[in-house]
């Protein structure tokens, strides 16, 4: 039981570290990722004659706001994950019910992270703004890889704890 709990905390910590580095990079050197968001929203590299370009957002203020919203979501994910790691480590030897409550923070962070990369990058960026059509500004492979990693850890962390008579999965 202890090894499984420690494993769950370690996997969440690994994702929290990655998210921390993503947020740090976006804050100290936003130029590259801001440019990415601007090009995706402007739809300036989609297939010529695409019928969806009327969805483009070319206002720099709105593009910067979208970038800020993405970074805020990534920061929220990071914060929730680190709180989850800390609480899971503190409650490694606690009752199953107390450990489940500690996991709720990690589950919340993993859920927010999945929504950012799945709904934000793959859904909105990929489909609504046609990012899939761009050979230059297409982050779908990276977003998919990250979303699936987050989802895998979410499923693992949400599994019931050994000895939990209620079978609760979090919350």
- Whether this prediction's pTM lies above 0.85 is answered by yes
Determine the length of the chain. Answer: 171
- Residue pLDDT tens, the chain, 171 long: 899 999 999 999 999 999 999 999 999 999 999 999 999 999 999 998 899 999 999 999 999 999 999 999 999 999 999 999 999 999 999 999 999 999 999 999 999 999 999 999 999 999 999 999 999 999 999 999 999 999 999 999 999 987 665 555 544
DSSP character at residue 34 = H
Residues in Cβ contact with 115 at an 8 Å cutoff, skipping those fewer than 6 apart: 73
**Can you give the residue ranges of every domain in the chain?**
2-158
**In Å, what is the CA distance from 99 to each residue of 8, 33, 35, 86, 156?**
11, 37, 42, 11, 14
Sign of the dihedral defined by the CA atoms of residues 118, 119, 121, 124, in that order: positive
Structure tokens, 109: 């962070």
């Amino acid at each position: 039981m202890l090894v499984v709990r420690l494993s769950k905390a370690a996997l969440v910590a690994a994702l929290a570290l990655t998210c921390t580095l993503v947020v740090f990079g976006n804050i100290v050197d936003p130029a590259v990722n801001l440019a990415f968001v601007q090009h995706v929203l402007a739809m300036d590299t989609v297939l010529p004659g695409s019928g969806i370009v009327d969805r483009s957002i070319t206002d720099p203020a709105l593009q910067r706001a979208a970038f800020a919203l993405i970074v805020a979501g990534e920061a929220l994910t990071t914060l929730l994950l680190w709180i989850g790691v800390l609480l899971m480590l503190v409650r490694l030897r606690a009752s199953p019910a107390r450990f489940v409550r500690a996991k709720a923070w990690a589950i919340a962070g993993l859920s927010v992270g999945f929504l950012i990369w799945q709904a934000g990058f793959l859904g909105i960026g990929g489909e609504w703004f046609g990012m899939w059509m761009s050979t230059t500004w297409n982050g779908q492979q990276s977003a998919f890889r990250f979303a699936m990693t987050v989802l895998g850890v979410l499923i693992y962390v949400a599994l019931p704890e050994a000895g939990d008579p209620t079978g609760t999965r979090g919350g």
